[in-house]
A and B are shown apart, each in its own frame.
Chain A
Amino acid sequence: MFFLKEETKVITMHPSYFGPNMREFLIARLNEEEEGRCTGDHFVICVMDMVDIGEGRVVPSSGSAEYTIKYRAIIWKPFRGETVDAIVTSVKPTGIFTLAGPLSVFIARKNIPSDIKWEPNTVPPQYTDHADQVIEKGTSLRLKILGVKPDVAAINAIGTIKEDYLGALQGVYQDNEATIAAYAHASMTLASARDS
């Protein structure tokens, strides 16, 4: 579920940024650090606006300045029972791996309708009921989240498509490959940004 949440963050500024464009620097820094971040509890989707940028306070003995910023951001906190759309990233005999935006959701074989069977001999391998339902890499799925588990800097979720109106989405044409690649790239950049 999406929320508009007010949060505060302390940003430390190097003295070299002190000057007339300070405010822009601060906002740019905030956006860079916050957007796309996963707190382990929710994902920060977008920083909306600044509520208040506090007065800078020079930290003794370093010369840097600390700003306490109050801002509003759109966050997404996945809940149990929530229905989301996701894209299949890979299919395995044990189940289906999907990405719902930044959230990785796994659908175990038990949570796939029993008429949709694992079919390893096709290229790429797929889950199919040998009719209109074909789930392979890149397919759009509608699934229901069964459980969410926060981790240090990620959230894992498991989902099900064993209910009415869940499963492969027909008629939704998307460039899913590109989307997956974009997500993968984004998460990688995030990861490397975190590392460095």
Chain B
Amino acid sequence: MQLRLPPSLHYPITVTSLLKREGDTVERDEAIFWYIYQTTVEEGDGLGNQVMVKRKFPTRFESTVDGTVVKWNIAKGDVIDEPVDVVEVEEPCAHEVQFGGMCAECGKDMTESTYNTEISETFRAPIQMTHDNTTLTVSEKEATRVEEDAKRRLLASRRLSLVVDLDQTIIHATVDPTVGEWKDDKDNPNYDALKDVRSFQLVDDTPGARGCWYYIKLRPGLEGFLEKVAELFELHIYTMGTRAYAQNIADLIDPTRKLFGDRILSRDESGSLTAKNLQRLFPVDTKMVVIIDDRGDVWRWIPNLIKVVPYDFFVGIGDINSSFLPKKQEIVVTPKSSRGSKEKGKEKEDQEHHVNGATMKTGPETEVSALEQLVTMGGGDDPRLLQEQADAQEETIMHQVEDRPLLQKQKELDADDDASADGSESSSSGDESQEVARPRHHLLVDHDTELFQLQDRLEAVHKIFFEEYDKKRTHALGGRVAALRGEKAASKDKDVDLKLVPDIKDIMPLYKAQVLGGVVIVFSGVIPLGQDLQNAEVSLWAKTFGVVVLKNIGKRVTHLVAGRNRTAKVREATRWPNIKIVTTQWLYDSLINWRHMDEDPYLLPVHPDDRGEPLSPGSRELVDNSWMSSSDEATNVTDDDASDELFKDAGLSESSPLSYDEEDQAAVHDELKDFLGSDDESESDSEFFAEEGAEPSRKRKRGEGSDGNADEESTHEDGDEVDAKGSRLSQRIKRSYERSTGLRDVATPGGSETEETRFEKGQFPAPDDDDEGEAGVATVVGDKQETQSETAVEGSDVDADDFEREMMAAFDDPDYSKESGAAPTSTDQG
């Protein structure tokens, strides 16, 4: 280790003698060399006066580490001006693994510190990487070594790592004692569903729930799922439950510990009660890690995550270990069940009055703003908050034990049945598994199939990963074999090359993006106002599948996802033939099934009154501008249709080279400035418009060449001269001249002098018209066209058509003429 001088020394220093030779041992705090430094001090001169004198002070430099001197980088007499490495000391132990404040290799106390300590020794091993222990920390080097070993092993056995969440992902737990009673009661309608519910008692869990029984329902197909997946993945448990809870669950789902081994991380060791961190388990790199969890927010939607549909078997219980987590944004996914519609409605209603503490707290408003959530996430260290959350957790448990939400619900259900039995038989329409003799409904239905789909997905990810890896490896091998021709080919197993390992963070998003790639959606009535659109749960989820979420309806939008009917956006979307108006269910089903679902069954029945006129191609562009005003990053991608048209008009394709260099641009710029300089507009404004105007002008110039000048001049003469070669654009401009009388007033704000000089030059009338039109419109305050023109100015592609239309619109507006009339120059022909 190189020993570096601290920056706190009084530089420059002069080395006077080295106290250790190479090969000598040094101890901590032992002097290793002498040096002198010079400084100014105040001294008495013996006459009672204070004088400032420069003095030299000899000082010892003490080693901060133990070890053997390997090499000096300085010599006697050297003057050192800045912190440098002075000596290399070989340490007997680098303290790379530390246990409870001790070096686990040499047993030294790492927390000791003296006046000489710069950085505490504990910082040498800052990483926790053991699942079930927080006292053991390792250095980055050690962590890398361990991880690389693990990766080699995994690659050799062609497996990846899979981090599995427990609650609502592979199991569902409740402490409602009703479950136990139903389980023993053969006559209970829920008996069938509860048959395989397991239970255990936690003696010393949370203080409020001593000795309370936990009922665990395994997600259907779990056993097979784990067994199959364990062949492709090394499984880890990462749960927000306590250690004891996690151990008990592990005993249930993996009694032999074949699948999970000791790889269980609970909230006791997680380090954070509010978020899960993959770095806690894989501190160096997460290239080969896949996560399955029912919540994306706790993972901050990292690309390794596969979000699964929450398993909600005990209806309305939710996640019993979620009190510490940020509140969940409710996504009500109606289960694709065979249950009758009535029951469905019932369930939805139930979800609103959860007895679960997490939702209890939120009260009637189940939606939580992103900010609030961030605050909750960040508040992990606040002891008061922690206490509150612990209380909430306790309360959750207590409530479930006392209130028996399930029993209440079954009662409601029964009452419901009784009521409907009198009326019609509609309630029993869909439920095939219902007993004939007892017309009671099951509250608990076991129809979840998520794990089967999940297995397919995991297999697919695994396959893609190793295909990619093999591809890279054969590639690299081929190169190497060529290079080392004649040498014996290395055995396949040994040749596990960690550099070639592809990154799951690249592979998964690519794979997922195929699902809904190219889909551009706008939400309507889904995300509450005031919540950040891009960071809402559902947007984040959708975005992992390649969906682009926009704020407003526009040209690129392919789907409108409507939470309810008859919103303004639905109305607007009906005018676009290419936008499919679908229910939220479409999006959820697509996300859940990893498939672009056929939209037809999900189409939203649009109220006939809301059907707007289909947009004509012309008016569409008007609307285009309106969506450009949305603040999405996506709007940076403006469509080039308008400019394409311009190119075509000018007889050019977009790809034709523009031999337009900086000189030309500067010239055009100057000229524009010249004539705009006399404008009433402020300096900055005219500059801005000059900038904007430069583009259309150059396009025109290219197109018309030298003839352009003549044409344009003629258009300016009086507007009635036939333009023989004129392009469509110039014709249009001419037309606009003819239509409006006030145009030229606006076009010549600087008075006749400017106009004359301009005519003499005979150059680009079109752009200046455009600019003026634009400027004029932009100044009309309170005009309804204002927004459009402004957005047009903002857009990088300013197209002539829009200007033309805007000009016309502005001229038709009485406000505008008033304004322009007030302008100082209402001259000639008008």
Contacts and interface: CB of A to CB of B under 8 A. Distances in A.
Interface of A: 80, 90-95, 97, 104, 106-111, 118, 120-121, 123-125, 137, 146-147, 149, 151, 156-158, 188-189, 192, 195-196
A156 B262 CA distance: 21
Interface stretch (B125-133, B616-624, B679-687): B125-133
Contacts of A188: 204, 244
A195 B207 contact: yes
A121 B153 contact: yes
B102 A94 contact: no
B261 A108 contact: no
A152 B106 CA distance: 22
Contact of A106 (B129, B136, B146): B136
B121 to A, nearest CB: 13
A189 B207 CA distance: 12
B102 A149 contact: yes
A12 B207 CA distance: 25
Nearest to B259: A123
Contacts of B104: 95, 106-108, 110-111, 158
A93 B99 contact: no
A125 B260 CA distance: 11
A17 B257 CA distance: 50
B821 interface: no
B97 A156 contact: no
A90 B135 CA distance: 14
The 6 closest A-B pairs by CB, nearest first: A147-B107, A156-B100, A146-B107, A108-B104, A106-B99, A110-B105
B416 interface: no
A188 B333 CA distance: 41
Contacts of B142: 94
Given A124-B257, A146-B107, A158 B207 contact: no
Given A94-B129, A94-B138, A111 B105 contact: yes
Q: How large is the interface on B (under 10, 10 to 19, 20 to 34, 35 or more residues)?
A: 20 to 34
B109 A94 contact: no
A107 B133 CA distance: 14
B256 interface: yes
Q: Among A104, A125, A146, which residue has the most Cβ atoms of chain B within 10 A?
A: A146
B492 interface: no
Contacts of A120: 150, 153
Contacts of A146: 106-107
B108 A147 contact: yes
A127 B108 CA distance: 25
Interface string B94-121: 0001011111111111010000000000
B102 A156 contact: yes
Nearest to B147: A93
B101 A156 contact: yes
A156 B149 contact: no
Given A123-B258, A124-B257, A158-B107, A149 B101 contact: yes
B708 to A, nearest CB: 77
A94 B146 contact: yes
Nearest to A192: B204
Interface of B: 97, 99-109, 111, 129-130, 132-133, 135-136, 138, 142, 146, 149-150, 153, 157, 204, 207, 244, 256-258, 261-262
Nearest to B93: A110
Nearest to B150: A93
Given A97-B133, A109-B97, 16 more contacts: A93-B146, A93-B149, A94-B146, A95-B104, A106-B99, A108-B97, A108-B99, A123-B256, A123-B257, A124-B262, A137-B262, A149-B100, A151-B101, A156-B100, A156-B135, A196-B207
A110 B139 CA distance: 14
Contacts of B261: 123-125
A95 B101 contact: no
A12 B341 CA distance: 66
A101 B244 CA distance: 21
6 contacts: A90-B132, A93-B149, A93-B150, A149-B101, A149-B109, A189-B204
Contacts of A156: 99-102, 135
B248 to A, nearest CB: 13
Nearest to A188: B204
Nearest to A90: B262
Nearest to A137: B262
A121 B234 CA distance: 11
A94 B157 CA distance: 21
B37 to A, nearest CB: 38
Nearest to A154: B100
Contacts of A123: 256-258, 261
Nearest to A107: B104
Given A120-B153, A123-B257, A95 B97 contact: yes
Contacts of A97: 133, 136
B161 to A, nearest CB: 13
Which of A80, A97, A125 lies at the interface centre, i.e. has the most chain B CB atoms within 10 A of its CB?
A97
Given A94-B136, A124-B261, A125-B261, A151 B204 contact: no
A111 B207 CA distance: 40
A79 B99 CA distance: 16
Nearest to B100: A156
Q: Which of A106, A121, A189 has the most CB of B within 10 A?
A: A106
A5 to B, nearest CB: 24
Contacts of A109: 97
Contacts of A121: 153, 157
A195 B101 CA distance: 24
Residue in A109, A120, A121, A149 whose Cβ sees the most chain B Cβ within 10 Å: A149
A51 B166 CA distance: 54
A14 B106 CA distance: 49
A149 B105 CA distance: 14
Contacts of B130: 92, 94
A147 B108 CA distance: 7
Contacts of B107: 80, 146-147, 158
A92 B133 CA distance: 10
A106 B204 CA distance: 26
Contacts of B132: 90
B167 to A, nearest CB: 22
A151 B111 CA distance: 11
B102 A158 contact: yes
A138 B104 CA distance: 21
Contacts of B150: 93, 120
Nearest to A81: B107
Nearest to A156: B100
B226 to A, nearest CB: 14
B298 to A, nearest CB: 25
B227 to A, nearest CB: 13
Contacts of B97: 94-95, 108-110
Most chain B Cβ neighbours within 10 Å, of A109, A123, A151, A158: A158
Contacts of B157: 121
B245 to A, nearest CB: 13
A147 B129 contact: no
A189 B153 CA distance: 39
B94 to A, nearest CB: 10
B9 to A, nearest CB: 33
Contacts of A158: 99, 102-105, 107
